[in-house]
Structure formats: C-alpha cells, structure tokens
Amino acid sequence: MSFSRRELFHNAGFGLLLLPAILRSPRNILGHLLFDPEGPLVPLKPAPENPYRRNGKSLVVIVHGKDPGRMLQCAIDRLGGVARLGLRGKRVLLKPNVLNDRPPPSTTNPEVVGAMAKLAKEAGAVEVVVADGSGIIRLPTSANLASTGMRSAAVTAGARVLALEDEPWVRLEPSETKALTHFYFSQPVYDADVVINMPVIKTHRFAEFSCSLKNFVGAVHPRYRPSVTFWTGDWHERIAELNLAVHPTLTVADGTTTMIEGGPTSGTAAKTDLLICSGDRVAVDLAAIALLRSFGTWPKLQGKRVGDQRQVKRAAALGLGVGSGEQIELVSDAVESAPPAFIQLVEHIRRDLLSE
C-alpha cells in the first residue's frame, strides 16, 4: 500500500513519540508489544442482520438534548425499539472509548454508557459488561476506567467492568483481509452474545477521525494495533479489517461533546449535545464524518466526499455496512425543543450524505 510523503512524516513522528513512552512502560506493557499472547484460533462470526432498517436503507437517528438517558431512549424508540436487539437472557458487552484518563471528547461520556447499561438490564440482559483497552502509552486501562468515572457509572447501572489487556485473547486469520494476515482480539468481546459499540466522535491526527470502526482498536492486542505498524501506510485499512472480529448489533456514538480538531487525546472541543445511533456501524461513521466536516476545522476530512474516507471504503468493501449516504435513511429528534443550530446541523449532514 503506497502512502504519501506527508503521511510518512506524520506516521514517523507518531512512532518517535511512541518509542520513549514504550521504553518507560511497565514490563508487562512492554511484553504486550514484544510477544504474541496465547490464544486459540477461532472462526469469524457471521454478521447479523441490521435490526434497524427501513425501505431497504440503514436507519440513522440523531437526537439532541441535555439528558443522556432520555436522548438514548428517544433514539432507540425512533430506530424501532429496544426489543429488536434481543437482549433478554443475553450476555451484553458495551464497548466505550476509554483512551486515557481525560474527560469527553477524549473518552466516551460515562453518563451515556451508564444509560445504555441501565437500559440493557431493564431489557432483560442476564449480564452487562463495560470493557475497553486504553491507548498503548495510556495503559493501564483500570486506572483510566476509575479516573474518567466510567467504572462508577457502569457499576451504578449494574454492569461488570473489564480492562481488556488483563483478559484472554483469541487469534483470527481472516481470508478477506489485505493489510492483516492475522491478529489477536479480546476474547470477552468475541464471546459476548450482543455487542453494543459506544464510541465518542472526534477527529484524529493519524486516522483522520475516530468513531465507530476505530473504537474496536481498543479490543485488539496492543502488538497488533495500527499505531504499532504505522510505517506500513495502511492504518485506515487495518482499522476496517480488524472489525471483521466483531459485529455490534447497535452503535451509539457519543456526540454530547465532540472533538472537532486535533485528537485523539486532546484537541478543540464543541458542545454538540447529540447522539448518533444505528444498527449499521459504517452508517454511523458516515454521519459522524459529515458532522465533523460541518465545522470546517479539520482539513483531513475536507476536499473529498464523505464516503471516500479510507476506513469507510474498506469497511464497505468488506460488507461491514453501507457504502454511501444514499443507503441511509436519516431521522432526527430532540428531547427538548431543538435549537436552530441543531436543525441546521442535521440538514448539513443530510446534504453531505446525499452528495455522494
């Protein structure tokens, strides 16, 4: 995979930044990067049907408000109801973005995750787990789960909490991949009956943006994460291909606060007070890109069509979701009166999706 001189410069810069942090890391983290874990070879699971479709298109709901619990309930009702997720009697895993110890939009808003955990329990889930693996130079995850308030929010809602670098791994060897011949993925995420993806919406200096597809990097063994193989130039394709390991039934993208420039650890934040929800993870990313583009602050996402972003193109080619905005039915709502700025934002997103 060829890549530009600018990409090489940026990626090399990231590598130089990563190296001293790795060398300062505790021995167990360094071991994660030097050695493969033990883990059985497992087959890819078939992708389930999207439970939220209308007129042959993937439904995407954008809800505005100040109360995450009410916003989430409104979004799922507009999609078609929580019953379609089939949570009764199931082991449900919620995968937020707990990159580090910083508040949103570096990490997912714990209130949104707590609201989803509560809703899953009420829908009859036999177990709800909240789990993630932090950025390599931000490990251990257990400390970040505590400092961000994620652990407290999850436990209060009746969920169990896992730091994925402390859990077992499974090995996958997808035949469909080009950038990845094999990789190790979190066994608790792989084994869950239902996975609900809960990313935060933000820009990213190296991956261009971070939302639904990018969120599952946190479930990949540190040795196989795209940041460790930055020199290959196929960062975007690796993000898409590792998503073959897991198929979320629902994606709830946290846009209560959105990072519109910089990222992923720090950058310019905007208070957007919204959630983007869908049964199609790629559709969520398309809507998130359109949202980020609306601010005009991040050049990496400008000057091309929404669907031309490389993560999205590779994911669509792998059958992980829709390939264009024309395959999306966009619905918006608000739990309080929608401000004019939100209405204008939704119209911008709709136009951007349909300009494919």
Q: pLDDT tens across 195-237, in order?
A: 999 999 999 999 999 999 999 999 999 999 998 876 677 889 9
Helices (H), 80-230: 110-122, 141-147, 150-156, 187-191, 212-215
The two structure tokens encoding residue 256: 């209560």
pTM: 0.92
Contact 195, 248 (CB under 8 A): yes
Q: Strand, coil or helix: what is 107?
A: coil
Domain count, the chain: 1
Residue 251 β-bridge partners: 197, 278
Contact 153, 193 (CB under 8 A): no
pLDDT at 33: 66
Q: Strand, coil or helix: what is 129?
A: strand
The two structure tokens encoding residue 139: 């490990």
The amino acid at residue 339 is: P
pLDDT at 16: 47
Give dist(CA 324, CA 341) in Å, integer: 25
Q: Which residues of the chain have pLDDT under 70?
A: 1-34, 230-231, 356
Give dist(CA 204, CA 299) in Å, integer: 11
Residue range of the domain that includes 103: 5-354
